[in-house]
Amino acid sequence: MLAAQVPHTLSSSSIEEHACNKDLGIDKQLEWIYDDDVDAELAAEVELLRAPYKPFEWDDDGGLLSEPDRDQFAGLWREVEPIAIAKGYALDIEQYVEGKDRPHYWEQFEGRSGLAIPATKDGRVYYVRSMGKDSEEHKCTLRLLQYAHFEPPMPPPVDIFEGPRDRVYVVMDKLKPHWLAAPHTVEGQTMSVDYFLYTVTRMLQNLARLHAAGVAHLDIRPYNVMLDDDGLPVFIDFRQSIVVGDEPSKRLCTVPHAGTTLIPETTQFGYHAPQRESEEPFDGRADDVYAVGILLERSYFTTPSQKA
């Protein structure tokens, strides 16, 4: 039973065999294994058997698809799979989460979250995002769809369904990579004036619609800006977002401070307002404006000739 609950390669039966052969209890038997000077990997596996079992849970604070997390995310997505299949979606758990049969597959996913994975339906590729039901991210998503139903600042969901563990799953079209990777950031490359105006205008429209709906994104950066089918930018990943409503003076802070709402400590330095980075009270919407300004500057004033 323990071998099925804990993600390891050393089975409980092999441990029991050692204990039986040596006629030792589990603690003495573990000491015997270490005394035999087994390799570090086996020692780590044995240590898992010593540790109390903790059931896997979704990590909304940003669990990443690093090596130790793969089994956890694979198990959680497997719970959702029957519901997704019934709706016609084939989740790419085996490749995207587990990384099966793909040497160096994980190198391209450094910093990616296990909260969204690809899926296919009728030959079309989608992304399915997991979020807690009634979480702040869920509330922000519903609020944006309600208040900004015409050209919302986020990818319009194709489908929304509920699953185990009080989770909600949002299906979105697969988007193109963020536009900071576009050729216009390379010296000598140019872009049309029309495209420049379209993209900048849409970014500012996204920001206005976001805040008009009473939502502060709080994590606007290159990886969270994607391109829709028209080549125009949209915001993704509302995991850090909060509903600020119509309170113009609502203040946030990354440390406890009287009269503020506490939010997680920032890790994305460079796109946050100075007040937020210095752990002072700040306005979430002003932080978004600052991030968009930095992003636009780094998009269109990158090369020497652009700066001139």
Mention the CATH class of domain 179-302: mainly alpha
On the question of pLDDT at 5 being above 50, the answer is no
Helices (H), 237-283: 274-277
3-state secondary structure of 14: helix
Greatest mean pLDDT among 12-21, 47-56, 172-181, 228-237 lies in 228-237
Summarize the chain as % helix, strand, coil (round to 5).
45, 15, 40
On the question of pLDDT at 259 being above 80, the answer is yes
Per-residue pLDDT band at 67 (split at 50, 70, 90): low
Pick the CATH number of 67-173 from 2.60.120, 1.10.20, 3.40.50, 3.30.200: 3.30.200
Segment 118-125 mean pLDDT:
93
Q: What is the residue-averaged pLDDT of the chain?
A: 74
Q: How far out from the chain centre does Cα 166 lie?
A: 18
Greatest mean pLDDT among 42-56, 64-78, 99-113, 144-158 lies in 144-158
Provide the pLDDT for residue 96. 72
CB 148 within 8 A of CB 121: no
On the question of pLDDT at 178 being above 80, the answer is no
Give me the phi and psi of 91, to 5 degrees please: -75, 135
- Say if 67-173 and 179-302 have the same CATH topology: no
Per-domain boundaries in the chain: 67-173, 179-302
Per-residue pLDDT band at 71 (split at 50, 70, 90): confident
* C-alpha span between 64 and 68 (Å, rounded): 9
For residues 186 and 31, the model is more confident at 186
Q: 151 to each of 110, 141, 177, 204, 233, how far by Cα in Å?
A: 31, 14, 19, 13, 11
pTM of the model: 0.72
Provide the pLDDT for residue 148. 67
Segment 175-190 mean pLDDT:
62
Provide the pLDDT for residue 307. 61
Segment 7-21 mean pLDDT:
37
Range from 8-17, 190-199, 236-245, 288-297 carrying the lowest mean pLDDT: 8-17
Per-residue pLDDT band at 286 (split at 50, 70, 90): very high
On the question of pLDDT at 54 being above 80, the answer is no
